[in-house]
Structure 1
């Protein structure tokens, strides 16, 4: 059996830095495995702006 964790992040922008790598590294240290990255919001030009990172790990 697995448990899942859903974490909101973004890839940065003109005035902000990306945080996705730090988020993945932080959760990997806790035993979480990256499953998928899904875009959740888009700007007016159809470009994704926000993402949800899905992690999994075996339940103990």
Structure 2
């Protein structure tokens, strides 16, 4: 049975300093991670810039 590990990367999506999620996904793909989901976290932060969690997975090496 295959086993997987997961990585969660929080990105800021607006404001003066926002994270380029396209580049984050490309970089993780180069490192062997597969982008699997996005979680909208904007409701967790009151009066803050909207944020997303990008979810990546890769097969665990045994």
Identify, as 1 or 2, the structure richer in strand.
Answer: 1
| Runs of 4+ more than 3 Å apart | none
Aligned length: 56
Q: Structure 2 regions of 5+ residues with no counterpart?
A: none
Q: Structure 1 regions of 5+ residues with no counterpart?
A: none
TM-score of the two chains, using structure 2 as the length reference = 0.75
TM-score of the two chains, using structure 1 as the length reference = 0.77
RMSD: 1.9
